[in-house]
Amino acid sequence: MAKALFLFIFIWVLLIAFVCCQRPKFVNIGAVFTYDSVIGRAAKPAIEAAVYDINRDTRILNGTEVRLFMKDAQCNVFVGSVGAFQVLEEQVVAIIGPQSSGIAHMIAEIANGLQVPQVSYAATDPTLSALQFPFFVRTTQSDSYQMTAMADLIGFYGWKEIIAIYVDDDSGRNGVAALDDQLEKQMAKIYKLRLSINFDDTEIMDLLKQSKLLGPRVYVVHLNPDPRLRFFSVAQKLQMMNDNYVWLATDWLSTTIDSFSQINQTSLSALQGVVGLRQHIPESSKKKAFLSRWRVTQEKGSASSEMNSYGLQAYDTVWTVAYAIDRFIDEFKNITFSSNDKLNDMKTSDLQLGKLKIFSNGSSLLNKILQMNFTGLSGHIQFNEDRNIESGGYDVINIAHMSINIVGYWSNISGFSILPPDTRQGKQTNYSRVDQKLQKITWPGGKTERPRGWVIADNERPLVIGVPYRASFVDFVTEVNKSHKIEGYCIDVFLEARKLVPYDVPYRFEPFGDGRFNPNYNELTQMVAEDVFDAAVGDIAIVTNRTKIVDFSQPYAATGLVIVAPVRNSKSSAWVFLKPFTVEMWCVTAASFVMIAVVIWILEHRVNDEFRGPPRRQIVTMFMFSFSTLFKTNQETTVSPLGRMVMVVWLFILMVISASYTASLTSILTVQQLSSPITDLFLFGPQRSMKKR
């Protein structure tokens, strides 16, 4: 009996151990995204292909089958949320998607509650932060990263004012807010114009007409992918695709273009000169092989879109989750779910919320996902501290001559370069503007020179420039026979100077005075200071009281004022050598010689035999030594250290005195002496007055 009981317990333990150690036969993952969209048409077959490849690969999951449950979000937050609940009822261990940032916010809240990791390949809203949504992971880059690249592109060409046009949703608002933050670091100004989510051609046209009232002509367009490219078609109809404008687009444009094998020629012609960003996908053998399979899939009719960067990232997202599940099962063996008491208590609801289970080890699977480090179709897959993918940077594309050209690359390591980011190594984040390089860009209108990027706004009034209506000296400035035509030398100078300004400055001349008498120029200057006139042009003299209230240009004509002064005839005398110094200076110099003689004798007569002897001899030696230093002919030498220090200072003083004396005497004997009773000078001549602006 005892042996039978022991055998029963032993078999039961073995059975439990076998069951616990056995890997699950299948694991469920969910996907919620919009099927009928530019991104969804590429992502759906890419996700299905990834699940198919994983289930066929014996190197991963070791017999555990991946089951995929997909729901169409239909670009609607409510429908997407319902779809998320439906896939969660299948006890999925991870949710893939969506591409819409608005839907991602809602699903992220649900994923947090049920502790199910959510991995999105296309939701780029910067506010989907790791702190607010701890179970949200992104296999693409946040728009904050893309907007850093866009701000660097704007700074690369030196534009200081731009207009940002965006769709008024989470992705649009928060993306442009990130751009605003980056431009603020460059002391650049941004004007924000928004479109509704379901905008039409009329709304685009009204918005673009409104933008013409502003001065900037540099536009950053941040929209959702649009197969019809309606925005630029409307801009072309409004004649805004010429060389006065600059059009910059975020990666929505490149995603749209890459998703179609043949873009409508009319639509492509509207894009001429547009510069955009595209997520950089390095070339690899795996990518080429997958694209070859994709073309076969297209021929069979299983794929209705060309592959874009988000489709490649969707494929890699499924592999990221699969690798993480494989490691999770190796460590924890089983996948378990637990009931949520709060949901079970909702008995009054017709919703079957009781089917929703909390993923008991969701945090562990999330950590496995964040530890992923492999190379996929879209490049290197590794997550940073913000739970975003470590991006490989962006391609800078330029649409010109009906083709798409890559003119350079951007990364946070090297900035702009003509070399792809994957060829550059290092972790540098502070790069010099001097090292930035891009190939020549063809801008709207076909020009390759950098556009100015701004004009005088249509709603700005012209500059009102006051000109004196003179009765005399009309050659400087005058109104011609009351014809409202202003002519004169000052006007010609102003018009020539205006040609040097690289942009248009609208203006109109306003005569000041009645034409019968010369106007009061003090009053004209005061009117400039009081904003009655924006500027004044004429023969306005620069005097002290006027410079205190307005700024003047440099005089552009000689005054013509000449002062005639006679040459003072000073005959040289025998005592001319005394003139360089005053009497006081001569006395100080003589006293200095005496003082030095006494000081040297005091310091030297005890230790130096040359300063000894009878009193008469010592006096003669003392003064001869002092005066002979002027000519450097003294016979005696100093022995004591203090005496030598005094001599160094004295010789330096003698050098200064000698140089000053020589220069003054030379000037007296050679320079002509002019004399004039005029002690001050008043300048008057044709000059231009401009108020400080």
* DSSP labels, 190-206: EEEEEE-TT--HHHHHH
Size (the chain), residues: 693
Closest of 354, 63, 397, 404 to residue 250, by C-alpha = 397
DSSP secondary structure letter of residue 461: P
322, 365 in Cβ contact below 8 A?
Answer: no
In order of 190, 224, 374, the CA distances from 196 in angstroms are 19, 11, 40
Fill in the amino acid letter for 508. Answer: R
pLDDT score for 628: 79
Please check whether residues 596 and 616 belong to one and the same domain.
Answer: yes
Please check whether residues 261 and 406 belong to one and the same domain.
Answer: yes
Structural tokens at position 70: 């997909």
390, 373 in Cβ contact below 8 A?
Answer: no
How far apart (Å, rounded) are the C-alpha atoms in residues 608 and 636?
A: 9
Closest of 53, 49, 58, 84 to residue 69, by C-alpha = 84
Chain CA centroid to CA 254, Å: 22
Spell out the SS3 assignment of 193-247: EEECCCCCHHHHHHHHHHHCCCCECEEEEECCCCCCCHHHHHHHHCCCCCCCCEE
pLDDT score for 542: 85
The gap between the terminal CA atoms of the chain, to the nearest Å, is 108
327, 372 in Cβ contact below 8 A?
Answer: no
Please check whether residues 233 and 330 belong to one and the same domain.
Answer: no
Closest of 509, 506, 503, 578 to residue 538, by C-alpha = 509
Q: Is residue 463 domain-resident?
A: yes
Please check whether residues 87 and 107 belong to one and the same domain.
Answer: yes
Structural tokens at position 164: 């940002």
DSSP secondary structure letter of residue 169: S
Those residues with Cβ within 8 angstroms of residue 347's Cβ, 6 or more apart along the chain or in another chain: none
Q: Is residue 521 domain-resident?
A: yes
Structural tokens at position 299: 């021929």
Please check whether residues 554 and 632 belong to one and the same domain.
Answer: no
pLDDT score for 634: 66
pTM check: above 0.85: no
Structural tokens at position 11: 């078999």
Exposed, middle or buried, 94 (CB in 10 Å: 0-12/13-18/19+)? buried
How far apart (Å, rounded) are the C-alpha atoms in residues 58 and 42?
A: 26
Residue ranges of the alpha helices (H) in 500-633?
A: 521-529, 544-547, 583-604, 615-628
Please check whether residues 65 and 130 belong to one and the same domain.
Answer: yes
pLDDT score for 391: 75
Q: Give the end of a domain, one of 332, 364, 382.
A: 382
**Which parts of the chain have pLDDT scores under 70?**
1-22, 262-266, 340-354, 424-434, 457-460, 471, 482-483, 502-504, 558-573, 632-635, 671-693
Q: Give the end of a domain, one of 540, 565, 590.
A: 565
User: Whole domain around residue 323: which residue ranges?
Assistant: 26-141+285-340+354-382
Q: Check which CATH number belongs to the domain holding 129 and give it.
A: 3.40.50.2300
Q: Is residue 425 domain-resident?
A: no
Please check whether residues 151 and 215 belong to one and the same domain.
Answer: yes
In the sheet that holds 507-512, the strands lie side by side as: 507-512, 463-468, 535-538, 687-690, 551-552
Which residues pair with residue 375 across a beta bridge? 380
Q: Is residue 434 domain-resident?
A: no
Pairing of β 486-487 and β 463-468? unpaired
CA angle at residue 565 from 559 to 567, to 5 degrees?
145
Please check whether residues 265 and 405 belong to one and the same domain.
Answer: yes
Exposed, middle or buried, 549 (CB in 10 Å: 0-12/13-18/19+)? middle
Q: Check which CATH number belongs to the domain holding 510 and give it.
A: 3.40.190.10
Report helix, strand or coil for 611: helix
Quote the number of domains for the chain: 4
Please check whether residues 473 and 519 belong to one and the same domain.
Answer: yes
Chain CA centroid to CA 448, Å: 22
Please check whether residues 270 and 407 belong to one and the same domain.
Answer: yes
337 — alpha (psi -120 to 50), left (phi > 0) or beta? beta
* Per-residue b or e along 415-431, where b marks 16 or more CB atoms closer than 10 Å to that residue's CB: bbbeebbbeeeeeeeeb
Please check whether residues 512 and 590 belong to one and the same domain.
Answer: no
Report helix, strand or coil for 85: helix
Pairing of β 189-195 and β 478-479? unpaired
Closest of 212, 234, 232, 308 to residue 275, by C-alpha = 232
How far apart (Å, rounded) are the C-alpha atoms in residues 250 and 162?
A: 14
In the sheet that holds 26-33, the strands lie side by side as: 65-72, 26-33, 95-96, 118-120, 136-138
Report helix, strand or coil for 172: helix
Q: Is residue 556 domain-resident?
A: yes
Give the position of tokens 């004044």: 536
Q: Is residue 451 domain-resident?
A: no
How far apart (Å, rounded) are the C-alpha atoms in residues 40 and 258?
A: 13
In order of 445, 449, 453, the CA distances from 248 in angstroms are 15, 16, 12
Q: Is residue 346 domain-resident?
A: no
Please check whether residues 113 and 149 belong to one and the same domain.
Answer: no
Give the position of tokens 């108020």: 691
Which residues pair with residue 9 across a beta bridge? none
Residue 103 neighbours by CB distance under 10 Å: 28
How far apart (Å, rounded) are the C-alpha atoms in residues 188 and 155?
A: 9
How far apart (Å, rounded) are the C-alpha atoms in residues 76 and 88?
A: 18
Give the position of tokens 């039409």: 200
How far apart (Å, rounded) are the C-alpha atoms in residues 408 and 280?
A: 11
Q: Give the end of a domain, one of 518, 542, 565.
A: 565
pLDDT score for 4: 62
Report helix, strand or coil for 409: strand
How far apart (Å, rounded) are the C-alpha atoms in residues 604 and 157?
A: 76
Q: Is residue 15 domain-resident?
A: no
Residue-wise pLDDT tens digits, 649-676 = 888 888 888 888 888 888 777 765 656 6
pLDDT score for 651: 83
